[in-house]
Amino acid sequence: MIPVSDIEWSTAEKEIARQAFKKAYQREITALIQVVREQAGEITKLDDIWLLHDFLSARRHDIDGKYDHRDSLLIFTFAQLVKEGWLHLDELKGLDAEKISKVSVLTRM
């Protein structure tokens, strides 16, 4: 079995991956914007502001790390995005079966 980090991506697969990535990212960002607007609307005291700040610090760290485009991490990233509900497995259609199977296995871990 090929280690995940050594998997080769064809040009067609890279394009599918790019599109899937983009979709998940758009969904997550749209949801985040919605949450921040709602949370901000409920701010009435300083603690609420620092709570929002802590929340944004955590989300920024998470998002910056998660949407890493390195090929060697794509399988892990996709598994995480599927797990979190930002991506559907069938949106990876077109990748070879082994890649989809790896992602699928990882989502159940």
Taking Cα atoms as reference points, which of 4, 6, 22, 3 lies closest to residue 92? 22
Q: Phi-psi category of 20—alpha, beta or left, where left has phi over 0 and alpha has psi -120 to 50?
A: alpha
Write down the least CB distance from residue 33 to a copy of itself, Å. 6
Residues forming the site for a copy of itself (CB under 8 A)? 29, 32-33, 36-37, 39-41, 43-46, 48-50, 52-53, 56-57, 60
Write down the least CB distance from residue 45 to a copy of itself, Å. 7
Specify the residue, 18 or 53, whose C-beta has the smaller distance to a copy of itself. 53
With b for 16 or more beta-carbon neighbours within 10 A and e for fewer, the 22-58 pattern comes to eebbeebeeeeeeeeeeeeeeeeeeeeeeebeeeeee
Specify the residue, 32 or 106, whose C-beta has the smaller distance to a copy of itself. 32
Write down the least CB distance from residue 55 to a copy of itself, Å. 9
